[in-house]
Structure 1
Amino acid sequence: MPALIFDCDGVLADTERYGHLPAFNRTFADFGLPVHWSEADYADLLRIGGGKERMASLLTPDFVAANGLPAAPEAQKELLAAWHKSKSQHYAAAVEDGQMPARPGIVRIVDEARSAGWQLAVASTSAESSVRAVLEHVVGPERAAGFRIYAGDVVARKKPAPDIYELAIEDLGISTKDAVVVEDSENGLRAALAAGLKTIVTVSSYTAGENFGGAALVVSSLGEIDEPADILSDPLALRPRGEVTLATLTAILESLEAKAS
């Protein structure tokens, strides 16, 4: 049974700009930290996989000393956990308030895949609670119940390491030739490719200028009739007409089989 595996942030919804960045900044204010990440700052920080890891980048010796923060590794680990818990709460509130718009074509392609018997999953470096909240917001609780979710600290290494995708493939009980991934970032693409997975990239607000060499297809979104996708790179000559459909996904898998034979 084939599988369609989505990244979360930037793929299901434009969560980075409208969810994660404001949540980080509200957390810094909560803890009295002299930090406020701009959109430009955050674009650079997205090269670091994982929210805790991005916050950990603040803990330079100078920053720690200037702000009276603990220097011991275990104490810093506890501090990061407290920061991340606060950030997750702010993020969940933003999801509940409907502040993050779903990206075009997600519900449509999920329904197509479900009807055809495909397995559905999300593989993300974000916390599982955050991923589940976004998924339910975007596709609704009934559809979300049919997804497997692989998220947060379930693997030792985060994207661009392939660990999260290798875990997903093993747990879903399929081979790499039976899955298509939807990603939005170079880090995510590198993770999926390193796991041997064909990948569609739907560029997001922070990733448009990244290197997507190796992707099976690069588009502005999955597309809708009233909001068609732009094709940015189409090395397999798939030529989707405004919408990435189940037929597009099947053609990607068939191209992999043809290459293997």
Structure 2
Amino acid sequence: MASMVTSPSFTAASSTTVFSHNKTSASNLRPNVKTLSSSIMGAQFSINRSTRRCHITKRCRSGVTCLSTSPSVLPSALLFDCDGVLVDTEKDGHRISFNDTFAARELGVTWDVDLYGELLKIGGGKERMTAYFNKTGWPEKAPKSEEERKDFIASLHKQKTELFMVLIEKKLLPLRPGVAKLIDQALAKGVKVAVCSTSNEKAVSAIVSCLLGPERAKEILIFAGDVVPRKKPDPAIYLLAASTLGVEPSSCVVVEDSAIGLAAAKAAGMKCIVTKSGYTADEDFVNADAVFDCIGDPPEERFDLEFCGSLLEKQYVS
């Protein structure tokens, strides 16, 4: 799990909400009220720490000022990626499980931290192994025909998933800060919640049930693995989630941690908040609607359900 940063500051292009977590006082608010402030798509954004009300103002081309307060319309659905969003699983979870599988099969393959970071640019564990072996050469113990190699990769991935699930069941990889809080806020307000991941469905289900608990798990739909033929950055999994949940893509807010996940969400026509993870801190998130280091729990909360709604709703006033 990536280490927490107590007072981070981020910079990015104007289309992305970038937050400074140093508490400041805004001149247009009451004196001595602590706020968070930044910009969203050219607008000024602030959260009043005392009232928890969001304020967004924007000077549009027509000279009209755009003002948004605490949203009256919440997202129809919150859609979470799994690895890197719910749990920072990659470096000390999936990577270790891949390496333990390679060792058990005596393949003579080890993925170090930097190499695995490069491989994460490929969505899906089976696809990742296939691309790696196609580039570096297949192990001597691998079959020769393409069809047999698909079965070989599938068996490796099944073994890797079983090892990964042991880590989850032992709760050796904790939830990232603020995940449970945001999900609880959504469920309490009737906002639908789903997890959309390229990872194996069993692994994702284990994370949701073991780390979020059975009560939350029964309220969360899971779309994972090979449920769609094309994986992220293709938008198929997010479009499937919206269709299954019976909501418009434009009313959904996605929480992602990677550039390929962001691309999938935006291609689906959804708002996307990025919470950077250990492997994705330096990726390009210029198209994100907001970027944070994590969701965060009070008193280090970065954003909440109201903020998610504020990305969808703006009122235009003269």
Q: TM-score, normalised by structure 1?
A: 0.89
Residue 307 of structure 2 corresponds to residue 248 of structure 1: yes
The runs of at least 4 consecutive aligned structure 1 residues that moved more than 3 Å come to none
Q: 1:156 aligns with which of 193, 217, 229?
A: 229
Contact 1:51 1:84 in 2 (8 A): yes
Residue 184 of structure 2 corresponds to residue 111 of structure 1: yes
Determine helix, strand or coil for the equivalent of 2:162.
helix
- In structure 2, relative to structure 1, the CA distance for the partners of 1:61 and 1:131 (3 Å cut) is closer
**When you count strand as a share of all residues, which structure comes out higher?**
2
Contact 1:13 1:138 in 2 (8 A): no
Residue 174 of structure 2 corresponds to residue 101 of structure 1: yes
Q: CA shift at 1:177, angstroms?
A: 2.0
**When you count helix as a share of all residues, which structure comes out higher?**
1
Determine helix, strand or coil for the equivalent of 2:133.
coil
Q: 2:297 aligns with which of 224, 228, 231?
A: 224
Q: 1:181-213: per-residue Cα shift (whole Å, max 9, x none)?
A: 000000000000000000000000000000001
Give me the whole-angstrom Cα distance separating, in 2, the residues matched to 1:85 and 1:127: 9
Q: 1:79 aligns with which of 152, 167, 180?
A: 152
Amino acid across the alignment from 1:158: K
- Number of residue pairs aligned between Structure 1 and Structure 2: 242
Q: 1:155-188: per-residue Cα shift (whole Å, max 9, x none)?
A: 1110011111111111111112211000000000
Residue 280 of structure 2 corresponds to residue 207 of structure 1: yes
Contact 1:18 1:99 in 2 (8 A): no
Give me the whole-angstrom Cα distance separating, in 2, the residues matched to 1:58 and 1:176: 34
Determine helix, strand or coil for the equivalent of 2:227.
coil
Gaps of 5+ in 1: 229-241
1:237 corresponding residue in structure 2: none
Give me the whole-angstrom Cα distance separating, in 1, the residues matched to 2:150 and 2:283: 31
Give me the whole-angstrom Cα distance separating, in 1, the residues matched to 2:225 and 2:240: 12
Determine helix, strand or coil for the equivalent of 2:298.
coil
Q: CA shift at 1:225, angstroms?
A: 1.6
Give me the whole-angstrom Cα distance separating, in 2, the residues matched to 1:59 and 1:176: 37
1:236 corresponding residue in structure 2: none
Residue 106 of structure 2 corresponds to residue 32 of structure 1: yes
Give me the whole-angstrom Cα distance separating, in 2, the residues matched to 1:105 and 1:216: 19
Contact 1:189 1:215 in 2 (8 A): yes
Q: 2:123 aligns with which of 38, 49, 69?
A: 49
Amino acid across the alignment from 1:54: R
Give me the whole-angstrom Cα distance separating, in 1, the residues matched to 2:274 and 2:157: 28
Q: 2:97 aligns with which of 19, 23, 43?
A: 23
Contact 2:85 2:257 in 1 (8 A): yes
Give me the whole-angstrom Cα distance separating, in 1, the residues matched to 2:226 and 2:135: 26
Q: CA shift at 1:138, angstroms?
A: 2.5
Give me the whole-angstrom Cα distance separating, in 1, the residues matched to 2:218 and 2:135: 44
Equivalent runs, 1:111-190 vs 2, <5 Å: 111-190=184-263
Q: 1:4-24: per-residue Cα shift (whole Å, max 9, x none)?
A: 000000000111122100000
Gaps of 5+ in 2: 1-74
Give me the whole-angstrom Cα distance separating, in 2, the residues matched to 1:163 and 1:201: 19
Give me the whole-angstrom Cα distance separating, in 2, the residues matched to 1:69 and 1:188: 31
Determine helix, strand or coil for the equivalent of 2:176.
coil
Contact 2:126 2:153 in 1 (8 A): yes
Q: 1:209-232: per-residue Cα shift (whole Å, max 9, x none)?
A: 000011111000001124x2xxxx
Give me the whole-angstrom Cα distance separating, in 2, the residues matched to 1:62 and 1:13: 30
- Larger relative CO (CA 8 A, sep 6+): 1 or 2? 2
Contact 2:197 2:224 in 1 (8 A): yes
1:63 corresponding residue in structure 2: 137
